Amino acid sequence: MASLLVKNGVKPISFVTQFFAALVLLLAGLASQAASADTDALPRVTVDTNHGEFELTLRPDVAPETVANFLAYVDEGFYDDTIFHRVIPGFMVQGGGFNDMMRQKPTRSAIRNEGSPTVKNLRGSIAMARTNNPHSATSQFFINLVDNPHLNASGRGAGYAVFGKVTSGMGVIDSIAQVATGQQAGHANVPVQPVRILTVRRVAADTE
C-alpha cells in the first residue's frame, strides 16, 4: 500500500511531507529568533538634534575598531553641541567635528580604515569621514542619503568604512538634507542655519 488513497479527488498529505514542512517552519522560527537576538545585542545610540531625534544601530561585528572609537567619543560627550557642517542633497550629511562657529574640535588619534566590500554605503548607513589618506578618520562621520556605491571598499580603493545604520528617524536625516547651505570659513555646503547635534547617548541594552 505504497500509494496514497484519494478521497473526493484530493490526495492526502503524507506524514513525511508534514514532518518536513513542520521542520522547515521550526528552523525558520529559530533563525528569526537568533537574528532578533543578534540585533538586540548590537549597541545603539540616540542622536538628538535641533531637527529631531534618530537612532543608530552600530556593527562591531564588521567594524570593531571603528565602533569602539565612535563610542569612546559618545561616552565622553564629544559630539554634544557639534553640528552637521556638510550637507549635500542626494549624497550625504556629515558631522561630528565642528562647533557652530565652524571651529574644529581636537580629536583622538586617527584609526585604521575597516572598510569592507561586503559592508556597503547604502541609504541610511553611517560611515567614517576621512581625508585622502585611507587611515585618517577620527571623529567625523556621515550618513548616506542614497546608495553610494562609489564609496564602497573594492579592489580600486579602501573606500569609506560603514559601521552602522539609522534604524529609526531617517525622516530627520532627510529633513536635514533639505536645509539651505552656503560657504563658511572656507568650507562649502555648510548649512546657513546651524544643524546642531545636541546630544549623543547610548541606548540601554534593556530599553525597547
Which pLDDT score is estimated for 28?
A: 58
Please state the separation of Cα 161 from the chain's center in Å. 11
Mean pLDDT to the nearest integer, 64-82: 98
Answer for the pair 71, 200: CB distance below 8 angstroms, yes or no.
no
- Please tell me the least confidently modeled range out of 32-36, 41-45, 77-81: 32-36
Domain identity same for 34 and 80? no
Mean pLDDT to the nearest integer, 29-38: 48
β-strand partners of 45: 56, 202
Domain identity same for 34 and 62? no
One-letter amino acid of 106? P
Residue 43 has pLDDT above 50, yes or no: yes
The CA-atom distances, in angstroms, between 168 and each of 1, 125, 126 are: 58, 12, 13
Domain identity same for 164 and 150? yes
Residue 33 lies in a domain: yes
The domain containing residue 137 runs over which residues? 43-202
Domain identity same for 75 and 94? yes
**Spatial separation of the C-alpha atoms in residues 8 and 10, rounded to whole Å:** 6
Which pLDDT score is estimated for 164?
A: 98
Domain identity same for 121 and 36? no
Domain identity same for 22 and 87? no
Residue 75 lies in a domain: yes
Domain identity same for 113 and 168? yes
16 three-class SS: helix
Domain identity same for 84 and 165? yes
Which pLDDT score is estimated for 19?
A: 62
Which pLDDT score is estimated for 7?
A: 45
Instruction: Give me the numbers of helices (H) and strands (E) for the chain, helices first please.
Output: 3, 10
Structural domain total, the chain: 2
173 three-class SS: helix
Which pLDDT score is estimated for 117?
A: 97
Residue 191 lies in a domain: yes
Domain identity same for 31 and 109? no
Cell of 109: 588619534
Q: What pTM does this model have?
A: 0.81
Contacts of 199 (CB under 8 A, 6+ apart): 46, 47, 48, 77, 79, 80
Residue 167 lies in a domain: yes
Greater confidence (26 vs 56) lies with 56
Q: Which CATH number goes with the domain that contains 59?
A: 2.40.100.10
Residue 6 lies in a domain: no
Which pLDDT score is estimated for 205?
A: 79
Residue 56 lies in a domain: yes
Residue 8 lies in a domain: no
Residue 80 lies in a domain: yes
Domain identity same for 98 and 32? no
Mean pLDDT to the nearest integer, 159-188: 98
Percentage, residues of the chain above pLDDT 70:
79
Domain identity same for 154 and 179? yes
Nearest to 66 by CA among 119, 7, 110, 15: 110
Nearest to 67 by CA among 196, 191, 165: 165
Domain identity same for 47 and 32? no
Please state the separation of Cα 81 from the chain's center in Å. 21
Which pLDDT score is estimated for 38?
A: 54
**Spatial separation of the C-alpha atoms in residues 136 and 157, rounded to whole Å:** 14
**Spatial separation of the C-alpha atoms in residues 5 and 203, rounded to whole Å:** 59
